[in-house]
Amino acid sequence: MEAHTKFDIAHAFVATSSDISKLWDILENAGLTVTATISCTDGLVRHFDNRELLVQYDNPTRAAISSLEISAKSRDPYTTAEISLGARYSAPISISLRGEENTISLMRTYVSDTVDGMRAWYTRLSTIDFFYVWFPIFMVLLMLAQIMSPSGTPHPAMPLKKALEVLVISAAAIGGIAAVIWAIAWLRKRFFPVATFAIGQGHSRHQHNEQIRWVVIVGFVVGVGASIVATILLA
């Protein structure tokens, strides 16, 4: 009986040479002919029909891997497999398998176990929708502003100098908030990426970024702790 399965996995991942080799072996051991395509930051798309050549790709910063697609097929019996890692306009990991039911069921299990082992420890930081973070903060600030502003009495006309000061302060506050949002977004994209290919030179880049990630996390925890202590002492 023929079967088909297609599913997406939304977690951030770190793909090492070992992980890519495992995925290649799973498909090859099922009797499929395997090929791979990598899209790189230099604008080139590179094709591989040999696993060793793929895992030995130097992966320099200039031409770093941005996405990887592993394709496999067999005519007798008819079987196809597509594994997409880091595609730009889809889930971080997308898998499609078609063929004889028992073969597909077994491949799904092996592939799922492998990609689950690629899950990055910081995946929640990489995939969280910041709308659900910034919107509550904005609402709290808005309510505080309403509580602090006087109500029920007419406001006298504000002198031009005072109005300019308020305008400058408001613009500075908005600019500061925008800068913080931009900085956090850049920090997440740079050091908490959804897709990491830790092969070739990418392995050393991943190790370097891992150290920075821990510095960021520890610094954040220490900062929050210091703020709480300061609030308690000043209360």
Contact, 158 vs 166, CB < 8 A? yes
What is the model's pTM?
0.77
Q: Can you tell me the distance from the alpha carbon of 5 to that of 83, in angstroms, rounded to the nearest whole number?
A: 12
Q: What is the pLDDT of residue 221?
A: 62
Q: Can you tell me the distance from the alpha carbon of 51 to that of 27, in angstroms, rounded to the nearest whole number?
A: 12
Q: What is the pLDDT of residue 139?
A: 67
How much helix, strand and coil, in percent to the nearest 5, is found in the chain? 55, 25, 25
Per-residue pLDDT of the chain (235 residues; tens, 9 = 90+): 889 999 999 999 999 999 999 999 999 999 999 999 999 999 999 999 999 999 999 999 999 999 999 999 998 889 999 999 998 888 999 999 999 999 999 999 999 999 999 999 999 888 876 665 666 666 666 666 566 555 555 556 667 667 677 677 777 777 777 777 777 778 888 889 999 999 999 999 999 999 888 887 777 666 656 555 555 555 5
Q: What is the pLDDT of residue 167?
A: 72
Q: What is the pLDDT of residue 42?
A: 95
Contact, 100 vs 106, CB < 8 A? no
Contact, 42 vs 71, CB < 8 A? no
Strand 13-16 to 195-198 pairing: parallel
| Dihedral angle sign, alpha carbons of residues 135, 140, 145, 146 | positive
Contact, 103 vs 30, CB < 8 A? yes
Q: What is the pLDDT of residue 80?
A: 95
Q: What is the pLDDT of residue 30?
A: 92
Q: What is the pLDDT of residue 156?
A: 62
Contact, 58 vs 200, CB < 8 A? yes
Q: Can you tell me the distance from the alpha carbon of 79 to that of 32, in angstroms, rounded to the nearest whole number?
A: 7
Contacts 24+ apart (CB under 8 A), 105-111: 105/3, 106/30, 107/26, 107/27, 107/30, 107/81, 108/5, 110/26, 111/23, 111/26, 111/83
